[in-house]
Structure 1
Amino acid sequence: MADKTLTAADAEKEFWDHLKKSNTGLLGLDQPGYHAQPMTAFREEETGTIWFFTRDDTDLARDAGVGSGQSAMFHYGSKDQTVWACIHGELSIAPRNAELIDKYWNPILAAWYPEGKDDPHLTLLRFDADDGRIWVSEGGFFKFFYEVAKANITKTLPDPGGVVDVNLQ
């Protein structure tokens, strides 16, 4: 991105656009010894809230339900490897919401809930993002390796793209 400076607004737009296309990342509490786990993210466009489905018998659901919410991190890498993000926010258990369940329900989710949308173990997690760091590398995989090869030949540093801190509140 040497010809263009990445702005926070551009990075945020790239993140949300890519998350819509490829919505799996790693979600975990921001605590020592806690490991993130693969989760599918569903962004509510109107509010910017990210929703996750889980079962109430998981560690993540149990731990997110302590108090009014927990500090958490969502790590994301787009399928085309042009956007990477580490997003901080608050993770909490959300009240059951039939409208959200209907909106995001799909066959993959259904596999985890044998009793369907009314499964008593179905739990919604609410992630309210506050800030993060986003990396954007236009050109993806091939551009990256071009930059590496060019750097080795010219003895200069590669241009991996832009990185910027964002405020998502």
Structure 2
Amino acid sequence: MADLKKFENNPQKQLLENLKDVRCVMLGTPNQDKHMQPMSPQVDVENNEIYFYSDNTSELGQAVLEKPGFVHMCLVEKDYQACVKGYLITHKDRDTIEKFWSPVVAAWYPDGKSDSKLMMLRFVPHDAAIWASTGNPLKFAYEIAKANLTDGMPDLGDMKNVELDAA
């Protein structure tokens, strides 16, 4: 259930916290002709940074190596959705690779942290459109019934456009 008070007071931090708790987002490539792909975000909430392990031979890896650029990242949960625009670049810091390394990541790289295909991507968020609702099924039913009876619109949450450069 989305915390609507946090959504009102600090949507930037809430976004990073929600990203930290998900297994997968859809990440675009700088090549706009290619489809988004599922990726696991590695989020450093304290420093407002988002990283992804990738493969330098993959479509995404090749696109970023050829031309870093602006991409979209989408997060969709039951009561929280976000579309984030940011800059995607390669990130060669070994400390970052070490910081987020796990058995799950290791499964993708047979030669470990020194695997020749391993690359780290850094997503620098610029701005986002975020939607949040309570996820309460009773509130949902009430709002739908009220809207149908009054010809009004249901109030199921809120939407914000936020700048993330200085989050």
TM > 0.5 fold call: yes
- State percent identity of aligned pairs: 33
Confirm or deny that 1:84 pairs with 2:84: no
User: Structure 1 counterpart of 2:130, which letter?
Assistant: I
> Who is 1:53 aligned against?
53
Provide the TM-score with structure 2 as the length reference. 0.84
Contact kept in structure 1, 2:23 and 2:41, CA below 8 Å? yes
> Who is 2:144 aligned against?
148
What is the deviation of 1:23? Answer: 4.3
1:149/1:14 Cα in 2 relative to 1: closer, same or farther (>3 Å)? farther
Task: Give the Cα separation in 2 of the matches to 1:34 and 1:121.
Answer: 21
Moved over 6 A (4+): none
Contact kept in structure 2, 1:12 and 1:134, CA below 8 Å? no
User: Structure 2 counterpart of 1:84, which letter?
Assistant: Q
Output aligned runs, 1:109-148, within 5 Å: 109-139=105-135, 143-148=139-144
> SS at the partner of 1:65?
helix
Task: Give the Cα separation in 1 of the matches to 2:57 and 2:12.
Answer: 33
> Who is 2:72 aligned against?
73
Contact kept in structure 1, 2:16 and 2:45, CA below 8 Å? no
Match of 1:99 among 95, 102, 105: 95
Equivalenced residues, count: 162
User: Structure 2 counterpart of 1:88, which letter?
Assistant: K
1:144/1:108 Cα in 2 relative to 1: closer, same or farther (>3 Å)? farther
Provide the TM-score with structure 1 as the length reference. 0.83
1:30/1:93 Cα in 2 relative to 1: closer, same or farther (>3 Å)? closer
Task: Give the Cα separation in 1 of the matches to 2:135 and 2:79.
Answer: 7
Q: Deviation string for 1:52-108 (max 9, x for gaps)? A: 0011110101111124x2111110123xx222100001101111x222122111222
Contact kept in structure 2, 1:27 and 1:73, CA below 8 Å? yes
Relative contact order higher in (CA < 8 Å, ≥ 6 apart): 1
> SS at the partner of 2:108?
coil
User: Structure 1 counterpart of 2:72, which letter?
Assistant: M
1:144/1:105 Cα in 2 relative to 1: closer, same or farther (>3 Å)? farther
> What is the root-mean-square deviation of aligned Cα atoms in Å?
2.4
